[in-house]
Structure 1
Amino acid sequence: MWSRRLVLGVLVLPLVLLVFGDGPAFRTRGPELATGPRPPRGLPQPALVSRREWHADEKLVREKPHYTGAARAVFVHHTGNPNNYDCADAPELIRAVQRDHVRQDGWDDIGYNFLVDRCGTLYEGRAGGAGRSVLGAHTKGFNADTVGIAAIGNFGPGAEVPGPMMDALVKLVAWKLRPGADPLGTVDLVSTNDESRFDEGQVARLHVVSGHRDSFETRCPGDALYARLPELRERAAKLRATVPGHSAAARLRPTF
């Protein structure tokens, strides 16, 4: 029988093949925004496992966090790990993602702002404060004013997306989008990188809740999870509608 360490090695290996499609945006907003106010919240922050709790390797971090505008859109990813991991091993899988993003891809830290495991546990990703608008390195060309969330697993054709994972994604998306953003709507974002599906400077009309493949040539977040995005949008919109300022009338206002 394989040891647990060997099993984890097998679970981590697919990350090498997946992470190269992401990358940092040009930092058009300066780090001075780090001292700005936190965006208002109408929903409570979901329970999150902090970087300290999943034992992020802070020695790997090459640069202090940079900040951007409140989230106008969310990009959903998957990590590419096999789906039969023990949820107790999720922190080790996340540490492997962090190592790959820094050592192989040359980024400052883990690229995703948040991650979620198949048991529905949410994890703080990139450093800078879960309640802050941290500039990630998750969606090439569209890191500014957006949030990247990675589902731990591989959700290609025929894969099952666990119910607890979907429940957690709904809560996180509903909470993290800025006030007035409509999870059912679209948003115009300007590409900062020619390597995305859109030329640098081109305006892209994207779903407020998008999959990685909507902006980059990739299969991420897998056909199975991508097919669940309409449900994610509906449920996040309903949850936000329970909070003053996120009603249907409020969503009619422009989101830019």
Structure 2
Amino acid sequence: MHIFPQGLRGRPAVVPRVVLPVVLLAVCTVVLPLSPAAAGSGPSSADPAPRAGLRTSAGGGSVASLPLGGPHRSAAGRALAPRTTARFELIGVTWDGPADALADGTVRVRTRDAATGAWRDWQRLDADGEDGPDTPAAAGARRAGTAPLWTGPSDGVAVEVTAGPAGPPRGLRVELVDPGRGAESPAARTRPAEPAGGGRRSGQQAPRPEIVTRAGWGADESIRESDFVYTGQVRAVFVHHTATATAYECADAPRVIRAIYQYHVQSNGWRDIGYNFLVDRCGTVYEGRAGGTDLPVHGAHTLGFNTNTAGVAAIGTYVKDVPPPELLTGLARISAWKLGLTGRDADGRVDLVSGSSASRYPAGTTVSFDAVSGHRDGFNTECPGAALYPELPGIRTEAARLQGRADTVATP
């Protein structure tokens, strides 16, 4: 999943700021016009937008939907003129129709910093659907969308969509997500770690790491589907990065998780957050999709290979940023424990069957994977990033060591 970084509260960025280039397609090279007010010195803040399509969640969270169309539409695409909005911290664009409807187009957004009032640079959103359920959506049940962008506290937005050869899809909307303070719950906020060697049923079972529960990160359980869907035994773990800012305070990780959760559920129409687990830069492990951390909950993280797998997302962008050792340890610990529950060697290989031709492999194809693989192994994406992907062999080795069977060979 790609959520490009922008302005997250916390320590200064550890890498130089990167300005993403704007790509103009040969089939559509006209930049869509903004409002006349935007044609002067800069974006105008005098055009407040109503919170159309507002969906709320407990703890002050919300998702506001604004249509892309009206007077700023053309055969080339859609635009939303710069305007003031209520506060949000994550943004994405959704539409009706197939997930790849904008694969040959571009989506750019510009947001205003709520603290300083300054407009940030234009940022491009990834329009290719990488994550999501493998099965086709029921009519009206789900919407396709870009990867979301974490902006940090913002109160203004402008959008430009340049369509591909097929033209803009129907129902284009920009989604503005405010994670709020989180829902309060009497449930336990953490599931404690097992002591080293504790709870093992065999030499393959690694101790469970401490896991922050959904109550711990403030999930509003009323917005997700009430029932759970389970897959067969978890045979592999796919590692992702959320591509949010890397230099964040770990205390802010729950806000990022809540925003992703709300976008997946209230904007995309998924039954729950797509990932089974998330890990922050301090190595803290968070419960993702509901249904039981020790059960094979069916996720929506690696299109085509959501069956018999678990998705674990590293919170941050690890294209150029070096993943901290604590993060790598957290990824190894949750992978070792999750695979060990069913006796799977974290350093072994498994065969999986593609469930979608939109993945790297046609539906029905049997593919051999490492038990701990990267998202790019199953889908044409850079995820989990050029800096994190080479760390996977070390994660596998450490996970196998935690299982107490680093020198054994997995059964097929």
TM-score bracket, shorter-length normalisation: 0.7 to 0.9
Moved over 3 A (4+): 6-20, 246-249
**Equivalent residue in structure 1 for 2:402, among 219, 239, 242:** 239
CA distance in 1, matches of 2:379, 2:276: 18
1:67 Cα offset (Å): 0.9
Cα displacement string for residues 72-102 of structure 1 (whole angstroms, at most 9, x for unaligned residues): 0000000010111111111010001101111
1:209 pairs with 2:375: no
1:23 pairs with 2:23: no
1:222 pairs with 2:331: no
Instruction: Looking at secondary structure, tell me which structure has more strand per residue.
Output: 2
Root-mean-square deviation (CA, aligned residues, Å) is 2.5
Cα displacement string for residues 9-45 of structure 1 (whole angstroms, at most 9, x for unaligned residues): 8974589648931111349xxxxxxxxxxxx672222
What is the DSSP-based 3-state SS (H/G/I as helix, E as strand, rest coil) of the residue aligned with 1:234?
helix
**Equivalent residue in structure 1 for 2:327, among 141, 158, 165:** 165
What is the DSSP-based 3-state SS (H/G/I as helix, E as strand, rest coil) of the residue aligned with 1:227?
helix
Same amino acid, percent of matched pairs: 46
* Unpaired stretches in structure 1, ≥5 consecutive residues: 1-5, 28-39
1:128 Cα offset (Å): 0.3
Q: 1:247 to 1:236 in 2, by over 3 A?
A: closer
Aligned to 1:187: 350
User: Which amino acid letter does the alignment assign opposite residue 134 of structure 2?
Assistant: A
1:160 Cα offset (Å): 1.2
Instruction: Map 1:1-256 to 2 at 5 A.
Output: 7=8, 12-13=90-91, 17=126, 20-26=129-135, 42-156=205-319, 158-178=320-340, 179-241=342-404, 246=405, 248-249=407-408, 251-252=409-410, 254-255=411-412
Q: Which has the higher contact order (CA 8 A, sep 6+)?
A: 1
User: Which amino acid letter does the alignment assign opposite residue 118 of structure 1?
Assistant: R
Instruction: State whether residues 18 and 79 of structure 1, in contact with CA within 8 Å, keep that contact through their aligned partners in structure 2.
Output: no
CA distance in 1, matches of 2:373, 2:91: 26
CA distance in 1, matches of 2:88, 2:370: 34
CA distance in 2, matches of 1:148, 1:222: 15
Instruction: Looking at secondary structure, tell me which structure has more helix per residue.
Output: 1
Q: 1:43 to 1:58 in 2, by over 3 A?
A: same
Instruction: State whether residues 236 and 372 of structure 2, in contact with CA within 8 Å, keep that contact through their aligned partners in structure 1.
Output: yes
* Unpaired stretches in structure 2, ≥5 consecutive residues: 1-6, 10-86, 94-124, 137-200
Q: 1:225 to 1:14 in 2, by over 3 A?
A: farther
Q: 1:209 to 1:10 in 2, by over 3 A?
A: farther
